[in-house]
Amino acid sequence: MNEYLLETVCLTKTYGHQRAVDDLSLHVPKGSIYGLIGRNGAGKTTFMKMIAGLAKPTSGEIRLFGTDAEDSIGQNRIGALIEAPGIYGDMTAFDNMRLKAVATGVYHRGKINELLALVGLSDTGHKKAGQFSLGMKQRLGIAMSLIGTPDLLILDEPINGLDPVGVIEIRELIEKLSREYEMTVIISSHILDELARIATHYGIINEGKLVRELSKEELLDQCAECVEIRSDAVKEVCLALEEMGYAAYEVCDSATVRVPNCCDRVGEINMTLARRGILLRGISVRQESLEEFFVNLTGGAGENHE
Ligand code: ATP
């Protein structure tokens, strides 16, 4: 049986000569919270639109539960909040939900109330959605995308522009959907640190292409602590490390060596190097941040805030 809820095979979308999504083969495990990371313009929205059936792929395949996703479109198996939520500002939360439910053909008053409670909007009464905070609008948008009880929820940059409280509310909601409703969620962001708290899997894309796909554990491994030794005598440092049994060191540049998984032995390493007369510029424990890892992978100097 296929372990992936969603799998794409060489998915491509071109606009004119531009390949917005370029040969993308992603694997989203059932029940995962899949963080799709890429800088502005990397192709996240285009990818999500194709999955949600809002844009037609130029080529490639989308497989949902191991079958062609075309069979699932119209069956409410996918809920999506892409770009601005389609909310009518002069209507209440309930009426917005009702409109969407009727349009989807699944109107049920109890279900709407249940979803409004789930996203924390039960008590908004007669308040018009236009008066909601950005966070409330996002939560209403998520509730609307849950109307068909989808298996897969797609959220495009849902925390963009939210204040810290709003970010926490959305994060907790996504965790709840995953934990209590066993929903598979794909969530995009251009800031890895924001997703790091909730995502169980990651797909890193750059200029439409997949750079790396990895699980949370693999990501944490990548960003594990290491001892960083700075010295002009890198060769001698490496020799000494090998003799001490630390063969997994990495020479980062002509004056920097990093040694993973030995942070508890930094003192001992320091002493040994000193005893050998190796002059150091510095020795310290450091951890690559998620953001550094992302920037290194996508070959840039930070995100491009447009
Ligand atoms: P952002 O975080 O800025 O939304 P993104 O990763 O979601 O970026 P996309 O919106 O998918 O990226 O855009 C990928 C590329 O495709 C961009 O260069 C964009 O200009 C281009 N593009 C997207 N939609 C269209 C369209 N309808 N027509 C032409 N080009 C498009």
pLDDT of residue 178: 92
The alpha carbon of 19 and the centre of ligand 1 are apart by a number of angstroms equal to 10
Q: Which residues of the chain have pLDDT under 50?
A: 1, 301-306
Sign (positive or negative) of CA dihedral 154, 180, 117, 77: positive
Q: Is residue 11 part of a domain?
A: no
* Single-letter amino acid code for the residue at 2: N
Residues 148 and 211 in one domain: yes
Residues 78 and 128 in one domain: yes
Q: Is residue 118 part of a domain?
A: yes
The alpha carbon of 180 and the centre of ligand 1 are apart by a number of angstroms equal to 33
Q: Is residue 166 part of a domain?
A: yes
Q: Return d(Cα 187, Cα 112) in angstroms, integer.
A: 23
191 lines ligand 1 (CB under 6 A): no
pLDDT of residue 73: 54
Q: What is the β-pairing status of strands 184-189 and 33-37?
A: parallel
Q: Return d(Cα 162, Cα 135) in angstroms, integer.
A: 6
45 lines ligand 1 (CB under 6 A): yes
19 lines ligand 1 (CB under 6 A): no
Cβ partners under 8 Å of residue 103, min gap 6: none
Q: Return d(Cα 137, Cα 116) in angstroms, integer.
A: 12
Under a CB-based contact definition with an 8 Å cutoff, are residues 244 and 272 in contact? Answer: yes
**Top mutation candidate among 13, 14, 18 for ligand 1, by most atoms within 8 Å of CB:** 18
Residues 200 and 231 in one domain: no
Q: How many domains does the chain fold into?
A: 2
pLDDT of residue 68: 64
Length, in residues, of the chain: 306
Cβ partners under 8 Å of residue 86, min gap 6: 100, 141, 144
pLDDT of residue 290: 75
Under a CB-based contact definition with an 8 Å cutoff, are residues 213 and 26 in contact? Answer: yes
Helical (H) or strand (E) element with 290: helix 290-298
The alpha carbon of 256 and the centre of ligand 1 are apart by a number of angstroms equal to 39
Residues 195 and 76 in one domain: yes
84 lines ligand 1 (CB under 6 A): no
The pTM of the full predicted model, rounded to 2 decimals, is: 0.80
Q: Return d(Cα 89, Cα 124) in angstroms, integer.
A: 13
Residues 114 and 147 in one domain: yes
Q: What is the β-pairing status of strands 201-206 and 33-37?
A: parallel
The alpha carbon of 46 and the centre of ligand 1 are apart by a number of angstroms equal to 6
Cβ partners under 8 Å of residue 6, min gap 6: 26, 27, 28, 51, 62, 63, 64, 69, 152, 184, 186
Residues 197 and 122 in one domain: yes
DSSP, res 83? S
Tokens of 151: 């298996």
**Top mutation candidate among 11, 15, 24, 81 for ligand 1, by most atoms within 8 Å of CB:** 15
Sign (positive or negative) of CA dihedral 133, 135, 138, 142: negative
The alpha carbon of 220 and the centre of ligand 1 are apart by a number of angstroms equal to 30
304 lines ligand 1 (CB under 6 A): no
Q: Return d(Cα 185, Cα 261) in angstroms, integer.
A: 33
Q: Is residue 23 part of a domain?
A: no
Q: Structural domain of residue 290, as residue ranges?
A: 223-296
Sign (positive or negative) of CA dihedral 63, 66, 69, 74: negative
42 lines ligand 1 (CB under 6 A): yes
49 lines ligand 1 (CB under 6 A): no
The alpha carbon of 40 and the centre of ligand 1 are apart by a number of angstroms equal to 8
> What dihedral do alpha carbons 2, 57, 153, 26 form, nearest 10°?
50
170, 192, 216 - which closes a domain: 216
Residues 180 and 81 in one domain: yes
216, 243, 267 - which closes a domain: 216
Residues 83 and 204 in one domain: yes
CATH number at residue 188: 3.40.50.300
pLDDT of residue 27: 96
